[in-house]
Amino acid sequence: MSNHPFGLSIIAAAVLFACHSTQAFAETVTESIDKANNQIDLQQSTQKAFHYRQSDIALGLTGATVLPSAPNANVELMHRGVSDGVAVLQDGIFFSPAPYSGQNLVLQPNLQQQQSVTLSSMTSVVDGSEAAFGKLAYQSVAISEKKYAGEFNVEINDDADYSSGVIISGTTKEYGMLLAVDYQSASDDVGYELARDADATQKDIMFKIGADSLPGARNKQSTEFSYQYSSQDAEQGTLGLTNDDFSLVPNQRYGAANIDFTDGERQRYVLAHKLLLSKTSTVDTDFYYQTYSQKTADMLFVDGEMINNVSLGEIAAFEIAPTTDGMNLGALSQDNDFAGFGVQTKGVSMQGQHQVTYSARYHTDKAEMELGSQDWLWNNDLSLSSTTDKEALVVYKDDASAFSSAVDAQLNYGQWSVNLGLGYEHVSVSRDVNDDYDLAEADFSDDGWTPSVEVAYTQGAWSAALQAKQAWTAASAGNVDQTAQEALQYQLAVAYQQDALAVSMAAYMHDYDNQHIGCMFGMICDYEQIALQENIEDVTVTGIDLSAEYSLAFDSFSIPFKAKYQYTQAETDIGYCSNTNGCFDADSQLPWVPKQQFSFSSGVVMGDVSVIAQALFQSELEYEGNLVAIEPIDSQWKVDLTASYRMTKQHEVYLRVENVLDEELVAKRTLAGLQAQSEMSAYLGYQARF
């Protein structure tokens, strides 16, 4: 990892001004609108009944654009037509260990160990460049203030997949502790001609220990250390089915995919300190270090060439009628390690009725990437034999360091408020490539200023905010042009919130210069394409977000309702072509951005019984990949249903049916074929609280 002593010395000075306790002070109007309409309370009874470990529907209800995913895979997302510069945070800290150098890395936390998730559309300048285009902020479960508290959950489905988790925590005097453990196991029958199980397991552990200041302390403060460990092992890859075979058996795979797998292991350490300097000033400092190791294998080559529609058809034909000579296949493998370290501070103080926020962050991370290949012979008995050892095709190391600082002032004048922010970030990136491999090295730095202004008005239950911001995200080491992603962002948001009703509307326009794209959803990429980042010169994104939440209460029952509708028009101003992302004309929709997404949650709660439905609709994705046109993913509805019964205050049983309409939902449509989302499954679960 690179050494940057000058950056550390700056941070050491900045710690004097650190703070991060937003709960103690007023939010901006834009932040309050996001919190009211883009937040999912994962502990709420109507949401907790689903007991998801990961859920695209829950993230859709926050307003994130959720991309279709295969079973037991991480949920990928974008926001308002862009993926770079959209941060996933947990407790205010990057969830990815390497957001600057590992930009293809997709991770989401286990929802069982979170208490809420919120999407912020127009972020504050204090969030930095990696969240300049939106942030998905998770809040992990907190240490209980009770002496002893906990919960236990176990569920099993009709395929004998099961999950089990426990959370135990408590506080004695000034000290508290929490331990959360969760385990998931799944196995899908995916053999096309030969019976085959595709197994997947995941383990998640979270440990926290905290201490408050002693009674009588001059300044109240708290310190919390947390540790997280997770591992994921899944026998899945990119290879899918032909159109004809998908229409017959959408959830199965060809035997050529028998060696495919995705494994990952991560660790995360955080030391958080909160200090109340006075009644009007707080200080918060976070130190964090995290690592992630990733190993994958994808059968993506036929006779030494990247798979395409023709060779996929040959694989399908061989499965039905194997030949004595067998079939020559090749797998793309990855063996990657990511690590990141940082210290961040935020200071908030009130000056009369006005609020001033200071922030600073020093972050450094690295990605050590090894992309390779291995040749296989697919025998006439449909077994696979390796014909070569795994060979490294490219080995490189990306390093990145970033220093950011920002000042944000909220000026309040009765019902009016003006929010002025100015952020600065300096990013240095480098790429070292082993001499044996043909990939360009890089060593450059860039910096950007991010000014922001918001004018807002609040009257009773009504609020409105007009915001403008210059957003900036630095290029990665794989960006040949070394050009940052920039955009002028404008948003008008209007909201009404009173009692059990919250509604909002946000109209926006983002004018991009050099929008970043890489190997992303809907693509299959070779080793070079994985390592590169490209720019689309001019992109304009306009749209509207509508949100409504209401709880209709009667004497004997209630009807909760939450809905989110998004219309996104993301168009290139000029034509675009690349070897990675295909070609599309000027003034055309970016083919990986759905124009419409709609999600809702509603049902009936009657005493100890509740029945809740959640749904996600997405319009078609007109994807063209790797310069060869393929059919789009048609619009899709995904509906889940749960029924729960609380036997006592501590004990509850539930039944959940996923994909209750039993639709043939597409997860991916690439040159490697079609993959399905989860088929209809029924889960029986038990929840205990003590």
Alpha carbon distance 64, 55 (integer Å): 12
Q: Spell 623-636 as b/e; 16+ CB within 10 A means b.
A: bbbbeeebebbeeb
Q: In this predicted model, what pLDDT tens digit does every residue of 247-293 receive, in sequence order?
A: 998 988 899 999 999 999 999 999 999 999 888 899 999 999 999 99
Q: Print the SS3 string covering 475-517.
A: CCCCECCCCCEEEEEEEEEEEEEECCEEEEEEEEEEEEEEEEE
CB-neighbour burial class of residue 355 (10 A; exposed 0-12, middle 13-18, buried 19+): buried
The encoded tokens of residue 101 equal 């150098």
Identify the residue with better confidence: 195 or 41: 41
Return the closest-CA partner of residue 39 out of 21, 57, 61, 65: 61
Task: Identify the weakest region by mean pLDDT among 356-365, 381-390, 615-624.
Answer: 615-624
pLDDT for residue 35: 87
pLDDT at 360: 96
**CA distance linking residue 382 with residue 378, whole number of Å:** 6
Q: Residue 530: what are its φ and ψ, rounded to 5°?
A: -60, -35
- pLDDT value of residue 5: 35
More confident residue, 162 or 69: 162
| Amino acid (1-letter code) at residue 89 | L
- Asked if the model's pLDDT at residue 8 lies above 70, the reply is no
pLDDT at 582 over 90: no
The pLDDT value recorded for residue 197 is 83
Amino acid identity, position 368:
E
pLDDT at 580: 65
Q: Are 353 and 338 in contact (CB under 8 A)?
A: no
**Distance separating alpha carbons of residues 10 and 347, to the nearest angstrom:** 16
Q: Which amino acid is at 95?
A: F
pLDDT for residue 25: 54
d(CA 70, CA 246): 14
Interatomic CA distance for residues 85 and 102, integer angstroms: 12
3-state secondary structure of 268: strand
Using CA atoms, how far apart are residues 255 and 382, in angstroms rounded to an integer? 7
Distance of alpha carbon 491 from alpha carbon 471, whole angstroms: 13
How far apart CA 66 and CA 507 sit, in angstroms, is 20
Per-residue tokens: 260 = 């495919």
| Residue 545 main-chain phi, psi, to 5 deg | -115, 130
pLDDT for res 76: 86
> Does 668 have pLDDT greater than 90?
no
* 191 pLDDT higher than 90: no
CA distance 65 to 81: 8
Q: What is the pLDDT of residue 590?
A: 86
- What confidence tens digit (pLDDT) does each residue in 516-547 have? 988 876 677 777 888 889 898 899 999 999 99
C-alpha span between 431 and 427 (Å, rounded): 14
Q: What is the 3-state secondary structure (H, E, C) of 367-396?
A: EEEEEEEEEEEECCCCCEEECCCCEEEEEE
Q: Is the pLDDT of residue 26 over 70?
A: no
Q: 655: buried, middle or exposed (CB in 10 Å: 19+, 13-18, 0-12)?
A: middle
Q: Taking all residues of the chain, what is their mean pLDDT, rounded to a whole number?
A: 89
CB 488 within 8 A of CB 452: no
pLDDT band for 16, please (50, 70, 90 cuts): very low
| Phi-psi map region of 51: left, alpha, beta (phi>0 left; psi -120 to 50 alpha) | left
Residue 69's pLDDT band (cuts 50, 70, 90) = confident
**% of the chain at pLDDT higher than 70:** 94
Residue 313: which pLDDT band, with cuts at 50, 70 and 90?
very high
| Cα–Cα distance for residue pair 339/267, rounded to 1 Å | 9
- In angstroms, rounded to a whole number, what is the distance separating the alpha carbons of residues 64 and 38? 9
598-610 pLDDT per residue, tens: 999 999 999 999 9
Please, are residues 360 and 343 in contact by the beta-carbon 8 Å criterion?
A: no
For the segment 291-309, what is each residue's pLDDT rounded down to a tens digit?
999 999 999 999 999 898 8
Residues 6 or more apart whose CB falls under 8 angstroms from that of 603 comprise 46, 559, 560, 610, 611, 612, 613
Mean pLDDT to the nearest integer, 210-227: 88
What pLDDT was estimated at residue 522?
63
Q: Which of 114-128, 216-230, 428-442, 574-588 has the lowest mean pLDDT?
A: 574-588
The pLDDT confidence band at residue 475, using thresholds 50, 70 and 90, is very high
Kind of pairing, strands 135-140 and 87-90? parallel
Strands 93-94 and 501-517: unpaired
- Cα–Cα distances in Å, from 523 out to 190, 276, 307, 333, 517? 22, 49, 12, 16, 11
Lowest mean pLDDT among 12-16, 21-25, 68-72, 181-185: 12-16
Read off the pLDDT of each residue in 83-101 and give the average, rounded to a whole number: 94
Beta bridge partners of 518: none
Q: Which helix (H) or strand (E) holds 163?
A: strand 162-172
Q: Of 373, 382, 386, give the one whose Cα is nearest residue 254.
A: 382
pLDDT at 224: 96
At residue 161 the predicted structure's pLDDT band, cuts being 50, 70 and 90, is very high
pLDDT in the model for residue 19 = 35
